[in-house]
């Protein structure tokens, strides 16, 4: 990150020295100049010189030419004035320049003279750098390598190079055409907020181009080029290679022009405002790896354009391809079914390889909204009964044990009921309660559990609530220990304070299908360092959980999956939540087919079977 150090100056001021002469304030003035310069208060620094306007112009230009993040100017040796020689304060400079990995360091000095009885900095360009003479400028030459691709599990590109152009405006050249330029850029093809662009131009150095937009080259040539042609050098068009993707867009992410805010983030130290950088998704998280390092050379050029001095040189490095676990065929299928069968609602689907935890696909509706598949925080409803069943089996309950399914059950004055349409089953066993998703049958077994039983089983056996590193941002679930019997009852049916994402619940299905928790992972090269170790389930309990999920398909609420070839198990879920005083429901289903596990969430779905069931059915029928 850029350095943000302060020059601390402590000077004892007196009106006169002991011999009655005015105290020499030259050193103090030079130190104040350095402090203001370091604080980027150019106006204050320039006001301390004998040529304020000239100093302001040169200091501002130098800062822009370098792409300076932060300058640190540490006072050194002070030499008093001697005859015609001005007083001088040496300083050590350390400049953090965007795109240059190591700070640029050098020494220079600040001369101070007396004007009308007052000490002022005697302005000269060499204050900026000993070789920064009249008419000189800093030059940062960069050769940016092509951005490396993002690959699927088979090495095929999910995002690769596409010819594009970056469009900028040159404020100093806009002149009387400024309004016509803004009018042209207001065309929808540029998709630009013109008031914000005006503000950016007003605040910029007139001789530094202000980024406007990046367009694919074919779009630029067919829809934009003619609109900008009349404005000549005021429009700067540069050919670039853009990373685009039409597959797994929310996961892969986007690439765009770097903003000042983006450049302050970790991983962007090698980028500059002219670069195309990762903005969202994997493109952003792995910016440093994908972008590589530009070959750079920072020089001081004289007024004739020849190099006077070389301040820094960086040997570039190509970007490193990123390999993911995604399967393009399965990803396309996931995107297709979530788009076609969401019922007009917000929805998400995640598919995993149950044996490895590798994420095969993830998709959302709408496709340009939040990635709720990974980061959504929802009550999982009755899909969480898989975890509750694991805790009850550990506590000694058998699937064949009697567990009557009643209409309602009261816990300390709070009434719990089943979903609408489920009739009482007085002679039900626990296997039936699981297949029919009977809330009361589960809650009636609460005396077998401790308040922290669900929290322990969820965390230790299924990794829920631990910190996952899949290679992308995720919500890893939360199952807090219950504070009362009422909270325990709610948690047993996936309500109360229990929360999960579709990714978490897909992992639950994968763990039961394979018998081992394998923390989900999206990126394999480079493999995330913090991935949790795999942990097998108790074989007896794991086998029973799998049988219970098979029963939901054969004899329960997921019977729409009957007939799908292979070993197919599932668990439905209808989770209640309150919005604007009304009780609404989200529809869930988790399932597995052989070694593929899947979770589907449909916001405000009537029930898991009705809302999520058709999506899972369509997916597993074709996967």
pLDDT tens for residues 553-573?
999 999 999 999 999 999 999
pLDDT at 312: 95
Burial 203-234 (b: 16+ CB within 10 A, else e): ebeeebbbbbbbbebeebeeebbebbeebeeb
Phi (first) and psi of residue 134, to 5 degrees: -55, 130
- Kind and range of the H or E element at 154? none
Q: What strands lie across the sheet with 307-314, from one edge to the other?
A: 137-143, 295-301, 307-314
Query: What are the residues facing 569 on neighbouring strands?
Result: 592
Query: Mean pLDDT, to the nearest integer, of 566-592?
Result: 94
Burial 61-72 (b: 16+ CB within 10 A, else e): bbbbbbbbbbbb
How many helices and strands in the chain, by DSSP H and E? 22, 24
What's the pLDDT band for 529 if we cut at 50, 70, 90? Answer: confident
What's the pLDDT band for 72 if we cut at 50, 70, 90? Answer: very high
What's the pLDDT band for 15 if we cut at 50, 70, 90? Answer: very low
Residues in contact with 57: Cβ distance below 8 Å, sequence separation at least 6, in sequence order = none
Distance CA 424, CA 171 (A): 76
Distance CA 392, CA 389 (A): 5
Q: State the CB neighbour count (10 A cutoff) for residue 547.
A: 14
29-38, 42-51, 96-105, 490-499 — which is least confidently predicted?
96-105
Using the predicted structure, report yes or no on whether residue 307 has a pLDDT greater than 50: yes
Residues in contact with 461: Cβ distance below 8 Å, sequence separation at least 6, in sequence order = 390, 511, 517, 535, 537
Does the reported pTM lie above 0.85? no
Q: What share of the chain is helix, strand, coil (3-state, %, to 5)?
A: 35, 30, 35
Query: Mean pLDDT, to the nearest integer, of 165-191?
Result: 93
Q: Which long-range contacts link 175-178 to residues 24+ away (Cβ below 8 Å)?
A: 175/234, 177/230, 177/231, 177/234
Report the first-to-last Cα separation within the chain, whole angstroms.
46
Strands in 60-188 per DSSP E: 68-79, 87-97, 104-115, 118-121, 137-143, 150-151, 157-169
Distance CA 608, CA 232 (A): 60
Distance CA 71, CA 69 (A): 7
**What does the block give as tokens for 527?**
């493999």
Q: Yes or no: say if 551 and 567 are a contact pair by the CB < 8 Å rule.
A: no
Pairwise pLDDT comparison (205 vs 493), residue with the higher score: 493
Q: State the CB neighbour count (10 A cutoff) for residue 500.
A: 33
pLDDT at 211: 87
Q: Yes or no: say if 151 and 322 are a contact pair by the CB < 8 Å rule.
A: yes
Q: What is the DSSP string of 375-435?
A: H--B--GGGGHHHHHHHHHHTT--TTSB--B-SEEEETTEEEEPPTT---BTT-BHHHHHH
What's the pLDDT band for 316 if we cut at 50, 70, 90? Answer: very high
Q: State the CB neighbour count (10 A cutoff) for residue 445.
A: 19
55-64, 154-163, 239-248, 261-270 — which is least confidently predicted?
239-248
Strands 347-353 and 359-365: antiparallel
Helix (H, G, I), strand (E, B) or coil at 368: coil
Distance CA 515, CA 542 (A): 6
pLDDT at 252: 92
Distance CA 212, CA 194 (A): 9
Distance CA 360, CA 326 (A): 4
Helix (H, G, I), strand (E, B) or coil at 19: coil
Q: Which of the given ranges, 154-168, 194-208, 452-466, has the highest pLDDT on average?
A: 452-466
Q: What is the pLDDT of residues 432-473, one digit of tens each?
A: 999 999 999 999 999 999 999 999 999 999 999 999 999 999
pLDDT at 420: 80
Using the predicted structure, report yes or no on whether residue 3 has a pLDDT greater than 70: no
pLDDT at 22: 54
Query: Mean pLDDT, to the nearest integer, of 290-307?
Result: 92
Using the predicted structure, report yes or no on whether residue 361 has a pLDDT greater than 60: yes
Percentage of residues of the chain with pLDDT beyond 70: 96
Q: Yes or no: say if 574 and 586 are a contact pair by the CB < 8 Å rule.
A: yes
Q: Which of 588, 623, 618 is nearest to 338 (CA)?
A: 618
Q: Which long-range contacts link 524-529 to residues 24+ away (Cβ below 8 Å)?
A: 524/153, 524/323, 524/324, 524/325, 524/358, 525/321, 525/322, 525/323, 526/289, 526/320, 526/322, 528/469, 528/470, 528/471, 529/469
Look-up of token digits 């609408």: 420
- Kind and range of the H or E element at 577? strand 568-579
Look-up of token digits 């068009």: 237
Distance CA 426, CA 438 (A): 11
Q: Is 178 exposed, middle or buried (0-12, 13-18, 19+ CB in 10 A)?
A: middle
Mean of the per-residue pLDDT values for the chain?
92
Using the predicted structure, report yes or no on whether residue 313 has a pLDDT greater than 90: yes
C-alpha angle 34-105-42 in degrees, rounded to nearest 5: 30
Q: How far is CA 61 from CA 17, 103, 137, 138, 139, in A?
A: 40, 19, 8, 9, 11
Query: Mean pLDDT, to the nearest integer, of 232-243?
Result: 86
Using the predicted structure, report yes or no on whether residue 16 has a pLDDT greater than 90: no
pLDDT at 20: 43
Q: Yes or no: say if 498 and 379 are a contact pair by the CB < 8 Å rule.
A: yes
Distance CA 106, CA 65 (A): 17
Using the predicted structure, report yes or no on whether residue 18 has a pLDDT greater than 70: no
Query: Mean pLDDT, to the nearest integer, of 474-490?
Result: 97
13-22, 77-86, 137-146, 381-390 — which is least confidently predicted?
13-22
Using the predicted structure, report yes or no on whether residue 6 has a pLDDT greater than 80: no
Phi (first) and psi of residue 35, to 5 degrees: -65, -45
Look-up of token digits 């004899």: 555
Distance CA 367, CA 224 (A): 27
Distance CA 463, CA 474 (A): 13
**What does the block give as tokens for 135?**
């008419």
Query: Mean pLDDT, to the nearest integer, of 514-518?
Result: 98
Q: Given its phi and psi angles, is residue 381 left (phi above 0), alpha (psi -120 to 50 degrees) or beta?
A: left
């Amino acid at each position: 990150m850029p350095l943000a150090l302060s020059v601390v100056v402590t000077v004892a001021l007196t009106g006169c020295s002991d011999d009655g002469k005015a105290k020499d304030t030259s050193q103090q003035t030079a130190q104040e100049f350095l402090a203001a310069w370091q604080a980027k208060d150019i106006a204050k620094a320039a006001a301390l010189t004998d040529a304020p306007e000239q100093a302001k112009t040169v200091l501002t230009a130098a800062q822009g030419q370098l792409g300076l993040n932060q300058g640190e100017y540490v006072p050194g040796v002070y030499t008093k004035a001697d005859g015609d020689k001005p007083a001088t304060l040496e300083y050590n400079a350390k400049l953090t320049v965007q795109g240059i990995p190591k700070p640029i360091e050098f020494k220079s000095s600040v001369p101070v003279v007396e004007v009308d009885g007052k000490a002022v900095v005697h302005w000269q360009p060499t204050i900026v750098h000993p070789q920064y003479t009249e008419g000189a400028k800093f030059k940062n030459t960069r050769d940016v390598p092509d951005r490396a691709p993002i690959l699927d599990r088979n090495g095929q590109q999910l995002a690769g190079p596409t010819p594009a152009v970056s469009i900028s405006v040159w404020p100093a050249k806009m002149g009387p055409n400024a309004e016509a330029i803004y009018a042209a850029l207001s065309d929808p093809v540029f998709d630009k907020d013109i008031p914000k662009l005006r503000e950016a131009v007003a605040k910029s150095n007139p001789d530094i181009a202000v980024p406007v937009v990046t367009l694919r080259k074919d779009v630029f040539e067919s829809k934009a080029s003619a609109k900008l042609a009349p404005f000549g050098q005021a429009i700067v068009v540069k050919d670039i290679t853009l990373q685009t993707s039409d597959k797994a867009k929310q996961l892969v992410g986007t690439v765009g022009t770097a903003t000042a805010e983006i450049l302050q983030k970790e991983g962007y130290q090698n980028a500059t405002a002219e670069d195309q950088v990762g903005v969202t998704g994997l493109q952003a998280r792995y910016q440093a790896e994908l972008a590589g390092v530009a070959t750079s050379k920072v020089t001081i050029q004289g007024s004739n354009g020849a190099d006077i001095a070389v301040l820094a040189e960086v040997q570039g490095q190509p970007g490193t391809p990123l390999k993911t676990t995604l399967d393009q065929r399965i990803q396309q299928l996931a995107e297709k079914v979530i788009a076609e069968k969401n019922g007009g609602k917000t929805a998400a689907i995640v598919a995993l390889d149950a044996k490895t935890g590798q994420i095969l696909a993830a998709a959302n509706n709408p496709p340009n909204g939040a990635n709720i598949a990974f980061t959504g925080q929802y009550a999982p409803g009755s899909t969480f009964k898989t975890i509750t069943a694991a805790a009850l089996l550990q506590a000694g309950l058998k699937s064949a044990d009697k567990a009557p399914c009643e209409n309602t059950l009261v816990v300390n004055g709070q009434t719990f009921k089943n979903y609408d349409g489920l009739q009482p089953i007085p002679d039900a066993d626990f296997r039936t309660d699981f297949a029919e998703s009977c809330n009361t049958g589960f809650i009636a077994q609460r005396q077998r559990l401790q308040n922290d039983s669900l929290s322990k089983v969820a965390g230790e056996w299924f990794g829920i609530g631990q910190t996952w590193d899949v290679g992308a941002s995720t919500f890893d679930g939360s199952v807090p220990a219950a504070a009362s019997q009422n909270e325990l009852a709610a948690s047993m049916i996936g309500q109360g304070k229990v929360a999960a994402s579709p990714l978490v619940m897909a992992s639950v299905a994968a763990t039961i299908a394979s018998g081992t928790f394998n923390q989900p992972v999206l990126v394999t090269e480079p493999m995330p360092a913090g991935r949790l170790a795999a942990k097998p389930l108790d074989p007896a309990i794991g086998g029973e959980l799998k049988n219970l999920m098979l029963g939901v398909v054969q004899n329960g609420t997921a019977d729409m999956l009957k007939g799908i070839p292979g070993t197919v198990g599932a668990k439905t879920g209808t989770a209640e939540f309150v919005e604007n005083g009304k009780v609404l429901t989200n529809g869930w289903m988790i399932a597995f087919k052989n070694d593929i596990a899947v979770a589907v969430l449909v916001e405000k779905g009537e029930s898991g079977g009705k809302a999520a069931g058709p999506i899972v059915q369509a997916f597993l029928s074709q996967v």
